[in-house]
Structure 1
Amino acid sequence: MSGAVAFVSRCRVELAGRSVVVTGASAGIGRALTLRLAGRGARVVAAARSSAALDALAREAGPAVHAVPVDVTRDDSVAALGASARRACGKIDVVVNNAGVGWVEPFASSSVAHWEETLATNLLGALRVTRAFLPLLREGGGLVVNVGSAAASGWPYVALYAASKAALRAASLAIDRELRASGVRVLCVDIGPTTGTGFGSRSDAAHVAEAVQAWTALDVGPARELATAEISAQRIVDAIETALGDV
């Protein structure tokens, strides 16, 4: 896993009976991850902004999934998520910070409002959720998985998205080093280009076309083989099962 915190695990831990919080769960990788975790017997608190999409997910997944609307950019909303997760599950074993946004646009003409929303969601949102769940994670030893991106290596036309994910990777390593003595581990799993995530869907089509040309020339981004949301979700599941062996 490029950019991921290194773990030397003696075993993989089964997820049956474990409690996992997933943000950004209503679509794309988060939705696929929620279904995969529930299929392995985990209890999942699925969190996202869209109540309607969460309700549909919960109906499909069954009683193992508890849906909670959340805005990770707001302290009060994240605190409510923590309280709801405790009521639904008691102990929390894993928190997956998957919520994210991103625009494809030239840096020179990019929107400062887009900068702020990207950093507020992808970086500060993940940190806000992590800190809010620390009391629960410390109760019995827990794991935080931050969903990173290969774009952190410096893909053009997504400068702020790349910056947010690079910062998240660095923060994951720093926080892991601070918290490991307390029994809480933190890792960042870098995910490559994935179909069905809606990334860049709010971007100008001309900018996306320019970006694709640039990515193709550099052999990065969607110029490489695209993974499905299910494949990327499985990478995260593999990381969780391996890392729990060290918690």
Structure 2
Amino acid sequence: MHLSLRTWEVRLGIILVASSVVIYVVKDLLLGDPQNTYQYIFNALGFLPINVLLVTLILNQLLSIRAKRERLEKMNMVIGAFFSEVGSGLLTSLSEHDRDLEEIRQELIVTEAWTPERFSRVRDRLRSHRCNLSVGAANLEELCRYLTERRGFLLRLLENPVLLEHESFTNLLRAVFHLTEELERRGDFSALPQTDIAHLTVDIKRAYSLLIGEWLNYMEYLQKNYPYLFSLAVRSNPFDKTASPIVR
């Protein structure tokens, strides 16, 4: 395949060079004045490096922008799949155990009227939110069952090369997968000592904190690019007690 590509490139180069030679020969035969033809050739050759430089820079920039846009699109498709399969349900479950959620609940009721500045302010506010989670043995068992059922999906996401460039979301996946492993290795949750529950709570807080931030980023992306997906996301907001997928 590589050889055939090279052969195609060589043939194209020969055809183009031959075409230029034919054009200059025809010009010289029809119009005469070979000196003028030679001057034109050298003038064109003198400008050729600059022309190549400009075309290369512009094309490279355009191709880079297009490639970045395509990567971003694929990346957000994967992130959307994560929230659809795991993230939204996990966020709903964990937020119910956040004793300080009422302090920020109203700030997480995203609407169509939100501006980029509003999203930025809420992100700043979230950095100071403590994520004061309180979980018991029954909660841990339920959480373990929820994540274990989706372990295969999480593994496939971790293997997706598209996400390598998205550091914050990759950190979220690692945190969620680590939490899944921690919970899976426990047996009887009712027999866990308080020290171990406290350890698991730290892992849950880490995943929960990263999850809120990525959810907000994804909501902003949907609002900007996919209004119909954003509409459903708003009607399914895990922080909105009155949220309903039914359009009223």
Please give the TM-score of this superposition, normalised by the length of structure 2.
0.26
Please give the TM-score of this superposition, normalised by the length of structure 1.
0.26
Q: Which has the higher strand share?
A: 1
